[in-house]
Every structure is written in structure tokens, then in C-alpha cells.
Structure 1
Amino acid sequence: MTSAGRQRLKLLALMAVFATPLLVAWVMVEWRVGIPEQRTAHGELEPDIPPLSEWPLREPRPTTEVGDWILAFDCSASCDVLADQWWRLHRAMGREAPRVTRLRIGGSDTPLPGEVLGQWREVPAWQRDGQLWLLDPQGTVVLGYATDVDPGGVLDDINHLLRVNSDNVVEAELSSR
């Protein structure tokens, strides 16, 4: 083989090294081969629920810390059990707990430690008794959970979201305002 032939062969091999991953990715996407069907979130996406600022809550509206994630739950049924369950989950977050505020909507007027109380002015159509919502620092609903959700799954989701959304991102956003 001549020198020019070897150079062409090297060039073709180099092009194949860079083109093969693209070809494999295209095949995976086109024919759904090798793409896991597993879900990582335990809750459901809730794009139809309005941001917290538009929720029909009585005045004075509950105040939360700027930059905090919000764990809001409807407490119209079995309130003592739900409030205690989500308080325990909040404590299980450990050092990440200050980044999350619990918002209890309904129930008694005595909040548990670290809890903010609110009341429905009128019950919205999207609300279901005992439902739990996880809201980002801007007040947008990220995930919604049914009444019978496993608290361990909720804790996994919260820890994952807090890990991928570090304090530095929130601090940079707050300083840009």
C-alpha cells in the first residue's frame, strides 16, 4: 500500500471514530433501542396548576423565604396525620431542610415547627384532598403527589432536585434581581 493510501485509510478511520457515536445515537432515538423506560420522579408533572402567586389563598397570603423550594400540601382531610408525616420528611432532609418551606393549606391554626399556614379562599378545580405539591423557588409547581404517595419517594425527588439545583444557582438569580 502506498503512502497516500495509508493516509486515506487513517483519515477514514478518524472520520469513523467521530461519526460512529452520532450514528448510534440516531439509531437509538429513531428505533427506541437501548433507551431506558424507567421513571426517576415519583410524582406527576403538573403543568396545568398555576404558580403559587395565583392560588386562591385567603389574605394575608402566607409568606415564604425567597429562594426556598416549597412543599405545599392540602390538609382538608386527616390533617394531623399529613402534617406530622410531612414534618418528619422535612426533618429527614437533614442539612438541606432550610432550603425547603412547608406550606400547609387548611387544617388547624397551630403550625408545626417550620411550617407556614394558609387557607383556601375558594377551593380550586385542580385541588384534591390531601394532595402534595413541590414548587420551585419561583413558585411554579414542579411535581404533584397523590394522597397515598410514599414519603420516601418524595424525599428522593426533593433530594435529587436540591442536588441538581445548588444554592449557588439561587444566589446568582437573587443577586441579578
Structure 2
Amino acid sequence: MTSELLGQALFDGALIEEASKKSGLVWVRGASAPAARPLWHVWHEGAVCLVGDGPGEQPLPGLTDGGSAEVTVRGKDKGGRLVTWQATVSEPAPGSPEWEAAVAELKGKRLNAPDSEEMPARWARECRVLRLTPTGSVAPPPTGSLAERPLPTPATTREPVPAALPRLLTKRRKRKQPK
């Protein structure tokens, strides 16, 4: 490996690690998933660690043990895309040293948990803990638009503004003017 390629590989690895450590949210698309999903995570021992697919936890569609995933990390300042990288997905067995280490980090970052003390036991029973380890492959910056249709949701937009509302607002402003 030439020194230029080695330097680029080291730079890519450092970029992936620093961006992933600082961002509280990553966009992940599993090999069989139709679109990327935002997921909270922690960076631990060279990989993004996730917990989900259980009651009250985030969904992890398309992420299977031994599969691959595409991870996009956003910047903390403006929320723009910093880096997109390929990852290998692994699912450590509950109770294994690798699982225990990941769960200890995830537990510290999990906000609004209804059962903070019982969380590791619940995760072992009902959820999946995944590690997304970078393969070293960083995607080049996109040249076109990355706009996608939103995922289907039962949420709706606001109702149209009532026709009389602009008149009511105008009258209030007129009353407040000094005489």
C-alpha cells in the first residue's frame, strides 16, 4: 500500500470516528431497507452501537447479523451530511463481553427510559443490540440531489387557515396603535 493510500485510509478512519462520536444521530440504510432511517447511537470501540426492535425502542429495519449497511453522519453545527460510509453489521450475543460493553455505553446515553435500572435485562429479552463496524470504505460526496419522498406516516399537516383569521388579526393590530 502506498503512503498516499495509507494516509487517505487513516484520514477516512479518523473522519468516521470523530463524526460518529460527536453526532447523536446517524442515518442508516440496511441492505434490504427501502430508505435510510435516523437512529440514535453511541460510538464504542471502533463501531456505532445501536439498540432497537423492541417495545418502546427504535426500529432497525434491514439490519441483519452479518449483513451490510450504509451509514450517513450529519454535522452537529448545521445538520448537513459530513460523511457516508459502509459498515458490517454484527449482533453480539446477550451476556457476551462485547454485548455487555455496548449495553453499558448505550444505557448511559438512553434518554427518557421508563425502566433505567431494568433496561439491560429488558434489552437482553426483547431487543437487539447491533454493532456497525466501518469497512473503511467512504462514499464520495454526492453530485446530485439526495431528496427522497417521505416515508408513509399517519401524521397529517395542519388544517387550512380559517377565512376570517386575517381580518381578526388586522383588527387587533389597529386597536393596539397609539392615539
**By the TM > 0.5 criterion, same fold?**
no
Flag the structure with higher helix content: 1
More strand by share: 2
Question: For the pair shown, which has the larger CA radius of gyration, 1 or 2?
Answer: 1
